[in-house]
Amino acid sequence: MHTPHMDPRLHTSRRTLLTLIGASLVAGPLLATQSQAAASGGLDDPAKKEIAMKLVSSAENSSLDWKAQYKYIEDIGDGRGYTAGIIGFCSGTGDMLDLVELYTQRKPGNVLAKYLPALRQVNGGDSHQGLDPGFPADWRKAAQDSAFQQAQNDERDRVYFNPAVAQGKTDGIGVLGQFTYYDAIVMHGDGGDSTSFSNIRRRALAKAKPPAQGGNEVTYLNAFLDARVWAMKQEEAHSDTTRVDTEQRVFLQKRNLNLDPPLDWKVYGDSYHIG
């Protein structure tokens, strides 16, 4: 089901210092803006969020059927161990551990609970020790459980989606802009390295002001996408920038700042359409 597009372009260095994300995104300045952000429309509108999930899935899984990815799991050889689920939770970066811990809090004794000691042990590397041979099959079994699906949704929102939307609304950018933030956090995370989301945004702010600071939205988003492309090109695994060039930039060039369908785009040469 998953084409070579998954390998290694998509998840390598998506998240560095993942344990800092909760502190830097959730406990930081964004916390104060989230209630304000939720009060106005944006990417968190259910219809727009559905579009966002399909856009990310087209790049990460070569499919618009993002809900089919709850059961997805494989080691794509990027040094992060197993990559799995709707947002590419990784056994080596901590977010898979957080997810299984949440699932186990909500449903003790679930089929993945027995792997928690191993997930703690392999966090930070690519080892499968204590996970093989049963973990992939048990992950797919857990993915049939609505409680596990909800846990994936909730961790996606907590770590990636909500912070991206909140920052976008704070910056005064619309649905497309909020999506560019979300896609950047999905790939790069928000650790302390130069290619993290916050540093991509900082690089863009050095070139243009967002609407909240009196700038032009299109000009600012072009600056952000320029900074994103720069960040992707810092690593060979991200050197294919089509998820920006032939997706996000296409929408921006059409001034479709609200991500209104119909949407047509390409990722890695494959064409997609949302009517």
pLDDT at 234 over 60: yes
Spatial separation of the C-alpha atoms in residues 57 and 68, rounded to whole Å: 10
Torsion of CA 177, 181, 182, 188, to 10 degrees: 150
Catalytic residue of the set 60, 75, 95, 171: 60
Asked if residue 79 has pLDDT above 90, the reply is: no
Name the pLDDT band for 190 (thresholds 50, 70, 90).
confident
pLDDT of 59 > 70? The answer is yes
Q: What is the mean pLDDT of residues 99-122?
A: 98
Q: Which residues contact 247 (CB under 8 A, 6 or more apart)?
A: 55, 58, 59, 265, 266, 267
**245 has catalytic annotation:** no
**Cα 116 to Cα 111: distance, rounded to the nearest angstrom:** 11
The yes-or-no verdict on residue 1 having pLDDT over 60 is no
- How far from 59 is each of 78, 83, 186, 269, CA to CA, in Å? 16, 15, 11, 11
Residue 236 pLDDT: 74
Nearest CA among 61, 56, 55 for reference residue 73:
61
Q: Which CATH class is domain 4-274?
A: mainly alpha
Evaluate whether 216 touches 204 at the Cβ level (below 8 Å): no
The sign of the torsion formed by the CA atoms of 212, 214, 218, 221 equals: negative
Stretch among 49-58, 71-80, 137-146, 218-227 having the lowest mean pLDDT: 71-80
Query: What is the reported pLDDT for 41?
Result: 67
DSSP 147-206: HHHHHHHHHHIIIIIHHHHHHHHHTT--HHHHHHHHHHHHHHTTSSSTTSHHHHHHHHHT
Q: What is the pLDDT of residue 40?
A: 44
Mean pLDDT for 37-46 is: 70
The predicted model gives 35-62 an average pLDDT of 82
CA distance 251 to 18: 30
Look up the pTM and report it. 0.84
Q: What is the pLDDT of residue 193?
A: 85
Active-site residue flag, 235: no
* Alpha carbons 38 and 30: distance in angstroms, whole number: 12
Of the chain, the percentage scoring pLDDT greater than 90 comes to 77
What average pLDDT does the segment 41-56 reach?
Answer: 96
pLDDT digits (tens, 9 = 90+) for 248-258: 999 999 999 99
Residue of 44, 78, 183, 247 marked catalytic: 78
